Amino acid sequence: MIEIAHYIDNARVAGTSGRSQPVFDPATGESSKTVALASVEEVNTAVASARAAWPAWSKTPALRRARILDRFKSILWERADELARAISSEHGKTHDDALGEVTRGLEVVEFAVGVPTHLKGDFSENVGTGVDTYNIRQSLGVVAGITPFNFPTMVPMWMFPVALACGNTFVLKPSERDPSASLLMAEWLTEAGLPAGVFNVIQGDKLAVDTLLHHPDVAAISFVGSTPIAKYIHETGSANGKRVQALGGAKNHAVIMPDADLDMAANALMGAAFGSAGERCMAISVAVPVTDAVADALIERLVPKIEALKVGPASDTASEMGPIVTQQALERIRGLIDKGEAQGAKVVTDGRSFRQDKQGYENGYYIGGTLLDNVTPEMSVWQEEIFGPVLSVVRSNSYQEAVDLISSCQYANGTAIFTRDGDTARAFAQDIEVGMVGVNVPIPVPMAFHSFGGWKASIFGDHAIHGMEGIRFYTRIKTTTLRWPTGQRTDAEFVMPTLG
């Protein structure tokens, strides 16, 4: 049995807590690995390593920090397949999907390599007689990232490249469900020239999370996961004086207008709803066709595509959708479909009946694509984030009714509209109360030089992630006002100073 360890001071470190848990291959349902679960003392050791490394790293010229990240970027390009295989073996997503994840994370590294430009400050000459003012951005210190199972490389790379480029040191607590990728990234950072202690990985569960949230030497926490946990992370971290960005759950809608290209919309919904088995916070889980005629025509196009969906292990290159990450998650998805059906939703295509017949994979955590029609806002399948390959159809009589439906949702991560009408598209993009909007784009995840973040219960904290919002989150501004003595005598002043 292989034990997945921690990574501290540029080396793998075996767990000493005596606690561990199995890591499963979702494709087979079998386990050949365990992951160490850190004790408080082990978390403290990782933070102490990062704290000791911070003074020298923060004073390392930004250009040198960028060059290390540039070398890391090259390693990622060369070994993307290796990283993708590690992802697929523990998450279950197809190899091509895992490669796409690596690429989207790598784009943030590319953005971070430009940090010398992003960290430039402002200078004002003669704000008063003989007085100048300038500001700079400086690092926070030790920052931590707590990341989810669904993107074991991309989400960490949303965080640590920007944090490191800005001069912080980093402690990563990855998901215990698919932890191997974190160690590969740590070793490749070391190979790229990152000094010891600048990037550490601590494997663990809630004990490790709580230790980071309460640790006095951790200045900031970045988190991506479910809304209840995001709220807990934000409240607990903030109460302990930390800067927090906590991204939560989602219920993303796609509005399909009567003038839309329905073939394009149907193809887009297939990838957006069933890619990565729906285990994406940006998955489109609700289609909102405007008028029954559009709904019927859309469903007519979707049904044969869903029925033809190739569900299988990543080892089969023909697979379009892999298994669910755990048996517990699979049972939860099935239970929500059951509940939706009991509450009146029509099961048009039923993924619950899918059985994997490939030899050696019969015990994997598989489910087929499910399409539910006649879903209403009172149903659990609309109110809850299913996080599985389930697409709900909520029929709407008008554009405004569709907009009102989306605005009534507690989540506001992403949304999309399919239309040929520029006025409708512009009005939707301006008026909808959602953080990320796509027009004929099903999953509007911004490129790395923009920032990612929803609204309402999809985010807690004042900063979105990566892009310039990431630079602002991982730095604090310092403003210096200076006057050089001129030899002229000045008397003491006891009123509010004015420099003009």
Its pTM stands at 0.96
pLDDT in tens, 421-474: 999 999 999 999 999 999 999 989 999 999 999 999 999 999 999 999 999 999
pLDDT greater than 80 at residue 167: yes
- Assess contact for 451 and 469: CB atoms under 8 A: yes
Query: What is the β-pairing status of strands 459-460 and 243-247?
Result: antiparallel
pLDDT greater than 70 at residue 499: no
Task: Tell me the percentage of the chain whose pLDDT exceeds 70.
Answer: 99
Separation CA 33–CA 365 (nearest Å):
17
The pLDDT assigned to 498 comes to: 72
- The helix/strand/coil state of 180 is helix
Task: Tell me the percentage of the chain whose pLDDT exceeds 90.
Answer: 94
At residue 500 the predicted structure's pLDDT band, cuts being 50, 70 and 90, is low
- Assess contact for 46 and 169: CB atoms under 8 A: no
Take residue 21 and report the two structure tokens written for it. Answer: 């848990």
Separation CA 102–CA 261 (nearest Å):
31
List domains and CATH numbers for the chain.
2-248+458-480 (3.40.605.10), 252-439 (3.40.309.10)
pLDDT greater than 80 at residue 497: no
Planar angle of CA 80, 85, 90, nearest 5 degrees: 130
Separation CA 148–CA 413 (nearest Å):
16
Amino acid identity of residue 98, one-letter, is A
pLDDT in tens, 329-373: 999 999 999 999 999 999 999 999 999 999 999 999 999 999 999
Catalytic residues: 281
